[in-house]
Amino acid sequence: MRSRVSSNRLSNSGGSPFRSRISALLLAMFATMATVYVAGRMWQEAESRVYLIKELDRRTGQGHSSVSVSETLKIVSCKEQLKKLSAIQMDLAAAKQEGYVSKEHSGNDGTRSKKRLLGVIGIITTFGRKKNRDAIRKAWMQSGAALRKLEEEKGIVVRFVIGRSANRGDSLDREINDEHSQTNDFIILDDVEAPEERSKKIKFFFVRAVESWDAEFYVKVNDDVYVNIDALGAKLSAHLDTPRIYMGCMKSGEVFSDPTHKWHEHDWWKFGDGKSYFRHASGEIFAISRALAQFISINKSLLQVYAHDDVSAGSWFIGLDVQHVHEGKFCCNTWSTGSVCAAV
């Protein structure tokens, strides 16, 4: 009897710890399995994200996987600005078709803002030609208050163009300085005034004119030419919408290789076996648009000059998308109603 009771006590006292160890073991196994399961799912999700990022990079061709919020806002803002710019350009095109020309208006500070000039005319002159200049001032250029009125009312600036003497500060320079102090109607270039430098002189006239005035057109004229300002203004205004225009009395001519000839061309071999110049405007008077004058200014150090200034000017536009306009009214050897010029 005692032995049975003792055995029962032994069995009851040892069963409780046994069951506790089994429960702990089962919980540990369950926790391990749960951990493995969660880690596996997280690994799968990480692989999926890596795949999606690589696929996005491949399709967009970008080296980064996402676009920040600030970058997205910049893109949206740029698109909105482009839409506004497109609308403004359409409005401007419609206004031009209706013949609208903006007028001078007052700025925020109360001062009058200047509209773009119609044209800047450079009269190519040299030393010893004061009589010609005085005749031009009386005939069509005007002087003093009348010259300023021409600029204000018709938007046309007229200036004589001359260089400096090879002997800087000599009597030739002083005479021009004195004349300029009285008339204030010169563009005095820093380059040497010499017949063989005439082509360079024309180039640097355009450079100086673009730097000094904002105009639709820039016009070169010789100092032995009479100009009808009203007719010239009308011709220029008629071509305001023509881009990159080169207008004048277009011609061609023979290239002379003989060094003793009056019109000898030192680079004659560049014009081929036919020895004929390309089409270009006569040097008496021609006009170029603002874009072409700016092109000359920007590329002045690269532009070739030839023996004759009219050929040089024509060569600067070869290879460009330029509208060559032959205008008979620019042919100064014949005079008719509405002519722009006449040789004198």
- Summarised one tens digit per residue, pLDDT across range 248-262 is 999 988 888 878 877
Residue type, 224: D
Of 312, 322, 286, 285, which is closest to residue 203 (Cα–Cα)? Answer: 312
Q: SS in 3 state form for 131-149?
A: HHHHHHHHHHHCCCHHHHH
Residue 31 belongs to a domain: no
Please provide residue 246's backbone torsions phi and psi, each rounded to the nearest 5 degrees: -130, 105
Kindly state whether residue 102 falls inside one of the protein's structural domains: no
Q: pLDDT, tens digit, for every residue of 181-233? A: 999 999 999 999 998 899 999 999 999 999 999 999 999 999 999 999 999 99
Residue 91 in any domain: the answer is no
CATH number of residue 299's parent domain: 3.90.550.50
Considering the domain boundaries, does residue 11 fall inside one?
A: no
Q: Is 76 inside a domain boundary? A: no
Q: Is residue 52 domain-resident?
A: no
Asked whether residue 53 is domain-assigned, the answer is no
In this prediction the pTM is: 0.66
pLDDT of residue 262: 74
DSSP 106: B
Amino acid found at 167? N
Bridge partners, residue 226, by sequence: 342
Tens of pLDDT, residue by residue over 3-32, are: 544 545 444 555 555 566 677 677 777 777
pLDDT confidence of residue 10? 46
Beta strand 225-227 pairing with 276-289: unpaired
Q: At what angle do helices 229-237 and 145-154 cross, to 10 degrees?
A: 20
Residue 315 lies inside a defined structural domain of this protein: yes
Of 197, 130, 200, 118, nearest to 160 by C-alpha is 130
> Please, what is the average pLDDT of the chain?
82
Q: Which two tokens stand for residue 25?
A: 């073991």
Domain that holds residue 169: 117-248+282-343
d(CA 161, CA 126): 8
Task: Report the number of distinct structural domains present in the chain.
Answer: 1
- CA nearest neighbour of 211 among 120, 144, 313: 120
Among 62-66, 70-74, 123-127, 224-228, the range scoring the smallest mean pLDDT is 62-66
